[in-house]
Amino acid sequence: MPHPISTLGAAHTLISLVPAIVGLYSFARYRRIDSSTQAGKIYLGGLLLAVMTSFGLSSSGGFNAGHALGILALLSVSGALLVSRMPLLSRAHPYLSQLGFSFSFFLMWVPGIAETLTRLPVSHPLADGPQSPLVRGALAAWFGIFVIGAVMQQFWIRARKKSS
């Protein structure tokens, strides 16, 4: 039987949908997450709230891999925002910044994929735990999508720089 979801878990899930949906929108519309756009600002706020609410959740009773991924996502976004203030990296800024945002988006989905596969459908979840071949396969596919998307973004950034 699947683990029941707590009130905080339900709130965290709803909050986490904000950066997930806004991130997808940003990638579809701008091919990136840009902190200067309204969507980028909503993504950042939603990501921060999602990570903060995750700290009240733990099936193991303490700090877990999901918490570590949330911290890593926040560090990735922080680096993406700070790289523009580093004069030595001025030429690499657009590339590094977008890689940081994309990596945070990738990390945000990792626990979401694992939790979804181990909780849904409620009567008989598709996977029995994070070590399940289905979860591992889904995460491997997600990693492949991230790598391909990140490489494509780097080419788009370069093409945009050359055309301006």
Smallest CA-to-CA distance from 125 within 135, 139, 137, 110 is with 135
In 3D space, the residue among 74, 72, 78, 73 whose CA is nearest the CA of residue 97 turns out to be 78
Any residues with CB less than 8 A from the CB of 22 and at least 6 apart, and which?
39, 42, 43, 46
Give the predicted TM-score (pTM) of the model.
Answer: 0.92
- What is the residue type of 126? L
- pLDDT band of residue 161 (cuts 50, 70, 90) is confident
- Segments making up each domain of the chain, as ranges: 7-163
Mean residue pLDDT across the chain: 93
Q: How many residues would you count in the chain?
A: 164
